[in-house]
Structure formats: C-alpha cells, structure tokens
A and B are shown apart, each in its own frame.
Chain A
Amino acid sequence: MSLTHKTAAELGALIASGEVSAVEVAQAHLDRIAAVEPQVNAFLHVDAETTLEQARTVDARRAAGERLGPLAGVPIAHKDVFTTADMPTTAGSKILEGWRPPYDATVTRRLREAGLVILGKTNLDEFAMGSSTENSAYGPTRNPWDLSRIPGGSSGGSSAAVAAYEAPLSTGTDTGGSIRQPAAVTGIVGMKPTYGGSSRYGLIAFASSLDTPGPFARNVMDAALLQEAFSGHDPLDSTSIDAPVPSVVEAARQGDVAGLRIGVVKEFGGEGYQPGVLARFHETVELLESLGAKVVEVSCPSFTVALPAYYLIAPSECSSNLARFDAMRYGLRVGDDGTRSAEEVMALTRAAGFGPEVKRRIILGTYALSSGYYDAYYGQAQKVRTLIARDFEAAFGQVDVLVSPTTPTTAFPIGERADDPMAMYLADLCTIPANMAGNAAISVPCGLADEDGLPVGLQIMAPVLGDDRCYRVAAAVENALESRWGGALLSKAPAL
C-alpha cells in the first residue's frame, strides 16, 4: 500500500522504527498533492521546501536517538484560520491576502512540538462562515467523491485533503458544525471537542463563545491521536479549561458500547431529511443495539430553535470580532489617496475585502445588537441557549450519549445554495446544539445514501468533557461497519 493510503498511526510507527523516513512520507504526500490539487483545490498554500525542512528535522531527531511521539513525522494539512509564522494566513479572505502572522497559534505550536509536518494551509469559507467552502475568496474546494459537489464547510479544504489522501490528518474549527458537517459529506471522521478543551489562541475569531478547534482523520484512532496532541490547558486562552484532557486515545482503543445508554434525538428526522440519510442512520442505531447498547428516544424540544438562535448569536459575535479588520495595522487597505479620512478608507477596504456572506453576517449581527432589537433578538437567543443546555443536561440524566444524523442531506452540488443563505444554513441543523452548549460531538461515517451513493455521517454527542464517550461509540460503529463493508467507507470512493 502506498504511503499516502496508510493511517497516521501506521505512518508514525514506520517513522519511529526507521522503516521509512519522515522525508519519504512528506515527499509522497507532496507528490499526491501535486497530482490531485488541480481537481480538488483543497489547499491555499503549499510550500514543498518548508515541508521537507520540517521532515528533515524529525529524521535528525530520530537519528540523534530521541524517542519520538506517535505522530512525529506524520504530515498534516492545517486550516488557514490558524496563524502560522512561516506560512501566509488568509482565513479565506481577500482582506488578509498574503498576510504573514508574526506568531504561531497554540494549536500550530503544539503540532510542531509533536513533530507533525505541516504540508500547507487549507481552504475554507471566508472567516469560517459557511457550509460549503464556496464562500472562500480563492475559489471552491471540490468533494473527492464527486467533483461537482461541495466538500462541506467551513473546513472543506481540510475534509477534502484527508478524503483525497493528500494528508492523513488535518485540523479544522467548528463553530456551528464546520468540522462535523464536512467530515460527514466526505466520508471521514471529524470531532468537535468540548469548548475550551482546545485552544483558540491564534485562531482568527469568528464567534468566540462557539469556536472550537478539532481534528479530521480517516479513522477514529487517528482523530483521537491528533486531538490528544494539540489539546489541553492553554494560559493564553482565557476560556481554556484547566482540567485534564479525557483520554480519547484509550477510548478509541476500547470501542465498546455494551451496556451504554444511547439516546436518539426525537427532534432530528422527518421532513427536510434525505431518505437515504435517515435509512443509514436508523440502520446504525440498530447496529448499536445489536452491539449491546440500550437505545431510547429522547426529546430535546429547544433543539428546534437552536438554528435561529445560532444565526443571531454567531453573527452578533462576528460583527464585533471582525471590527478589527480596519485597514490600519495589517491586511488590505483600499482608497488611501491622501484625500480620504480613516473612516472612509475603512469602509472602502471592508467593502472590497469581505465577501457577501461575511457582509451579510456583519449587518445581521449589527442589527441584532442594536438598541431596540437587542432584547427581542440577541437577548432572546441567549435565553434559548440556556434552554438548549438544560435539554442536554436532562438528556444526559437518562443516557450516556445522544445520536442523530450529522447532516440532513448528503453533499449538495456546487452552486445549488450559493445565493440562498437560509438553504445553506440548514446544513448545520443537527450540529448547532452542541456548539451552543459547549458539548463534545463527533461525526463518523455510517454508509452511503441509496439515492446518490454519497457518504452519510452519524453524529454522537456527549456531555461537556465527555469527549472520550464520543470516541468510544465512534470506534464501536467504525469497527462493526468496516467488518461489514470489508474495509473503510472511503475505499468505495472513485479514484482521482
């Protein structure tokens, strides 16, 4: 099997034992990137020399007798919303075109410390706002399963890179589903850790009370290894949880659901859901029951208003966060001809530098925070947020985890929802509640929809700091389904 088709754990073991060098592994992935990028467009920036230099460092450390960690020398694709001192960071926006940050994000720094080799920066919806990666200022990424379809979003470059074997691992950020939804529609694993479990320092902010860095991988164990590598308390992030990280690698190894109580969220299903998505979901629930789990239906009534509440809270926070892009200290500046005021230059720069979805959300957020509307919109949405947390709390009094489809549909065609914001927002219907309450949630492949042969994801939601439960159940599902399929779901994807 070629190096690009191995798991991250296998690659780490091969490098640690000296059977292959980190440079060989990096070169194999650079070659794959060169071969498939014209079709996929997952990356915004790839620099072979910087990549190989990182790999040479790992090989030198090994040669010097250093004991390497499980992911040392393993290549990774890094979402272009994390700052990197040695690579440009754009957040998919024209307003940051060519910007070189003066510092590394904590997640970036921890990837480097673990010896991961950063291949480049991946495409995303501008400032992580979107569900298709079509909102990137640098063109859409394509789904490796069907190049006419979206790879999900906002972390669509990261999901496509892993699904196209350009990298065994990638990073993402999940504000309303931006890791789980892209993972579901590309047939890979994507995890939103507990809010505060992974650092936001150096993550370009969209909605600070929701943004959560997390891993993508082609299997559950690799995702756990990556999450463990970059998680943990960070004094540079004031909302970072100062508590031990749940042992997700151990949970992924266990993969046992016997005696576990699993709740099916009653509110997620029915109208608006694709029949093939529901069919795979129900089969997987039956599978969990056959593996010894106790399945019950659980009602979470406030989940039905999670989406509208999210589209008030997230734009409100974004309208405030994106005020920093003012054309003064870094990034684009437009119209500074010596006659215009700073305010005029600011308004011209922001109009030229932001794309339509970012502008819509800034205006929507400014509206929701306006005096006179604040109580009816932002204030009311915050109350809904309390109700969602209470629904979770009540549910987790009865069951250990909750399950639902990750997305209502499979990957939709590029262009289909591009100018229909409300249709686009529905892609996050099932993923938003976990962001609102800060819970851990994962998406794991559970089959192909009959109508279109495209991947379907199962979402598993656990309490705050219950990340290990997500991995435990996801590993059980993966083990059982892969023995039924005779291999990973991704092996059914057409060759690029």
Chain B
Amino acid sequence: MSAITRDEVAHLARLSRLALADEELDHFAAQLDVIIGAVARVAEVAADDIPPSSHALPLTNVYRPDEVRPGLTPEQALAGAPAVEDERFRVPRILGEEA
C-alpha cells in the first residue's frame, strides 16, 4: 500500500497554494511516497512518555520596551512590491465575483 496517494498530494498542493501541473503531481506523488515511507521510521521509537521538544533550547518570551522607533519609509516598504497604487500594495481581487 502506498503511504500517500496522488489525490492526497493534489489536496496538499491546493492547501499549500501551489498550482502544480499534472506531470509534476505524478512525479511528486511517487517521490513523496518514498520519502514518507522512510520518515515514518520515527514511529519505531518508543516515546509515549517522552515530552516533545519544539526547540533546541529552553526559551522564554522576550519583550522590549514599547517605544516608538524609526521604521521603513513608505517608499522603502513598497520598493519591492509587484504593483503599487497610492502608496499602497495593489493586489488582485480577494473576494469572489458575486461579492
């Protein structure tokens, strides 16, 4: 049995906002099946009573004083934008046609 199906990969690609071509889906589905089969080895480790680590070091939240500091100018912030209008990012429509 395969670890992951082509349909599942297509679903994950949609969730990841990746418009993949059919050939890419075929290719990735086969490769991801091998990769997931290999990484599933983590399940062999008996770790029921082991706490998970999200991080290498013990961390506590870090705060700084809430002071006004100089930031980017609008020109700097918009310098890399694909499209700009009236000192703002211009983006494609975000609502459906009917809205």
Residue ranges of A at the interface with B (Cβ–Cβ < 8 Å) = 99-103, 195-196, 209-210, 235, 238-239, 241, 302, 305, 308-309, 311-312, 319, 323, 326-333, 336, 338, 340-348, 350-351, 354, 356, 359-360, 362-364, 366-367, 370, 376-377, 379-387, 389, 421-422, 435-439, 464
Contact = CB atoms under 8 A, between A and B. Distances in A.
A99 B79 CA distance: 9
A305 B79 contact: no
Given A336-B82, A342-B94, A346-B17, A383 B35 contact: no
B35 A385 contact: no
B57 A383 contact: no
28 contacts: A102-B77, A102-B79, A305-B41, A305-B45, A311-B35, A329-B81, A333-B82, A342-B93, A343-B17, A343-B94, A344-B92, A351-B20, A360-B32, A360-B35, A363-B28, A364-B36, A377-B40, A380-B43, A382-B54, A383-B45, A383-B51, A383-B52, A384-B45, A387-B45, A421-B31, A421-B34, A436-B56, A437-B56
A363 B43 contact: no
Nearest to B49: A383
Contacts of A103: 72
Contact of A305 (B15, B21, B44): B44
B86 to A, nearest CB: 16
B16 A362 contact: yes
Nearest to A438: B56
Contacts of B32: 360, 363-364, 367
A366 B16 contact: yes
Interface string B64-99: 100000001000110111110000010111111000
Given A210-B56, A329-B89, A381-B39, 16 more contacts: A100-B80, A101-B80, A102-B77, A235-B62, A238-B59, A311-B38, A312-B39, A319-B16, A329-B80, A342-B94, A343-B17, A350-B19, A363-B16, A384-B45, A436-B56, A438-B55
Contacts of A370: 12
Contact of B35 (A319, A336, A421): A421
Given A102-B80, A363-B32, A350 B18 contact: yes
A382 B16 contact: no
Given A311-B39, A363-B9, A351 B19 contact: yes
B57 A308 contact: no
A311 B76 CA distance: 37
A311 B36 CA distance: 9
A209 B55 contact: yes
Nearest to A319: B16
Contacts of B34: 421-422
B21 to A, nearest CB: 8
Contacts of B93: 341-342
Given A102-B72, A342-B91, A384 B16 contact: no
A100 B79 contact: yes
Given A341-B93, A386-B51, A387-B45, A331 B12 contact: no
A103 B17 CA distance: 28
Contact of B56 (A209, A345, A363): A209
Contacts of B13: 359, 363
A422 B81 contact: no
Q: Kindly list the 8 A-B residue pairs having the minimum CB-CB distance in the complex, ordered from nearest.
A: A438-B56, A382-B52, A330-B80, A333-B82, A383-B47, A347-B19, A308-B39, A351-B19
B57 A102 contact: no
Contacts of B61: 238
A5 to B, nearest CB: 38
B9 to A, nearest CB: 6
A340 B39 contact: no
Interface centre among B19, B27, B34, B61 (most CB of A within 10 A): B19
